[in-house]
Amino acid sequence: MAERTLTLSIGPQHPGAGHFRLIVVLDGDIVVDVKPDPGYVHRGAEKMAEYRTYIQNIPHLERPVIIDSSGILFPYVLASEELLDLPPPPRAQYIRIIMAELNRIISHLYWLGIYGVFVGHTTMFLWPVGDRELFIDLAQMIAGARVTFAFFVPGGVRNDIPDDFPDKAIKVCNYYEKRLKEYEKIFFYNPLVLKRTQGVGILKREDAIELGATGPNLRGSGVKSDVRKDEPYSSYDDIDFEIPVYKDGDCWSRCMVRLGELYQSMNIIKQAIKKMPSGPVKNAKRGVLKGIEGEAFARTESARGTMAYYIISDGKPYPYRLKLSVPSFRCLSLMKHLLVNQHVADIPAIYWGLDYWPVEADK
């Protein structure tokens, strides 16, 4: 058997999301074994956090997933607020929702662009990457930056939204909801895309839970699980939205979940703008922030799934230990399960269908 097989390294050059290597063993064009090899962009974010104050930690903690930088900061501010005893005012909670959902759209559109290339559909690279600019512009109106916002702080958000933001945001959302219908026609229901994604890389419901899938990968396997609904944080319980769930567990289901989330995120943004109370956007304390002795665990739903922080404080201005638990890291255990016994030509569709972000997994 051994002389029949061929070992192939996919990566570690940049395959669209960051440096990562998949070691696949092939028999003909069938994958017989897979070993994910992460770590090429490990930067020791957890160790760095032990040397920085709660405020200094904000910019470097969003680096692992700049594409969803609000998503990765959200649980950090929730956990540190518990330790610093610095709850955010109501208006800040709604601004956070808007920002997190904008980031979800920005992240999903990036994923969609690369996925288009991976399944050989170049139009679906150009459209999302172009339309993504609309949402980046909206985020820039609020936070000033285009990608890494460092906008959430313990106790609220850095600044209020500008006066012309609500009108602009609703206009963009209304436009893009119509635009997404065109995406559906040209990509999501395109016979060629259906051929490449339907029935490919099937993740059964039980396996998804057992192997630790979260986010769209879990919901693509028919599991209705979303932290925004399971344990509503930051006023998400005030907003009426659906969780898209698809039962088949194949690549197409995972795509359709993300498509549904694009619609839902715009729905959430529009509601949050309407329901937002007036008032301050930040509670602040003077001097260096010191955590109370104890520990806090916070989780939120980021674009890729459950993002969680576990922070231990010993009463100093720095966390004693900060554990960052990211959704991409949990994808590692799905890869072998999904890729073995598949054709080598299906690897791109399955791999990027998981929306695995190597930099996030490496931390």
Partner 1 sequence: MSLTTERERALLDKIKAKFEDVIKEKYVKPKRIRIDVSPQKIFEVASFLKALGFNQVASVAGTDYPSSNEMEVVYHIVAIDNELRDIVFALGERVSRDNPIVPSLTDVWKSASYHEQETYEMLGIKFEGHPRLERLLLPEDWADIPPLRKEFKLPGRE
Nearest approach, Cβ of residue 332 and partner 1 (Å):
5
Closest CB 129 distance from partner 1, rounded Å: 30
E-strand ranges in 84-190 read: 152-153, 156-157
Q: Does 185 bind partner 1 (CB under 8 A)?
A: no
Each residue 40-79 as x (binds partner 1 by CB under 8 A) or -, in order, gives: --x-x-xxx--x----------------------------
Minimum CB distance to partner 1 smaller for 132 or for 299: 299
Buried b (16+ CB within 10 A) or exposed e, 229-268: eeeebbbbeebebebbbbebbbbbbbbbbbbbbbbbbbbb
Packing angle between helix 251-275 and helix 90-118, nearest 10 degrees? Answer: 150
Number of residues that bind partner 1 (CB under 8 A): 37
Residues 91-110 touching partner 1, rule: CB under 8 A, are: none
Nearer Cβ to partner 1, position 140 or 333? 333
Residues forming a β-bridge with 311: 296, 322
Tell which one of 56, 297, 317, 340 touches partner 1 (CB under 8 A): 297
Instruction: Restricting to residues 198-237, name those near partner 1 by CB under 8 A.
Output: 209-212, 214, 218, 223-225, 230-232, 237
At a CB cut-off of 8 Å and minimum separation 6, what does 159 contact? 142, 281
Residue 249 Cα to chain centre, angstroms: 19
Q: How far is the CB of 281 from partner 1 (least distance, A)?
A: 21
Q: 49 or 134, CB closer to partner 1?
A: 49
Q: What's the gap between Cα 325 and its chain centre?
A: 12
What Cα–Cα distance (Å) separates residue 251 from each residue in 36, 52, 286?
A: 19, 40, 50
Is the Cβ–Cβ distance between 35 and 137 less than 8 Å?
Answer: no
Among 38, 156, 220, 348, binds partner 1 (CB under 8 A): 38
Q: Which of 125, 165, 263, 310 binds partner 1 (CB under 8 A)?
A: 310
Report in angstroms how near the CB of residue 200 gets to partner 1 at its nearest.
Answer: 23
Pick the closer one to partner 1 by CB: 68 or 82: 82
Among candidate residues 154, 39, 180, the one with its CA nearest the CA of residue 88: 154
Q: Segment 319-358, which members bind partner 1 (CB under 8 A)?
A: 320-321, 323, 325, 329-330, 332-333
Q: Which residue has the tokens 């916002």?
A: 149
Helix (H), strand (E) at residue 207: helix 205-211
Q: How far apart are CA 108 and CA 142, in angstroms?
A: 20
Residues that bind partner 1 (CB under 8 A): 38-39, 42, 44, 46-48, 51, 209-212, 214, 218, 223-225, 230-232, 237, 297, 299, 306, 308, 310, 312, 320-321, 323, 325, 329-330, 332-333, 362-363
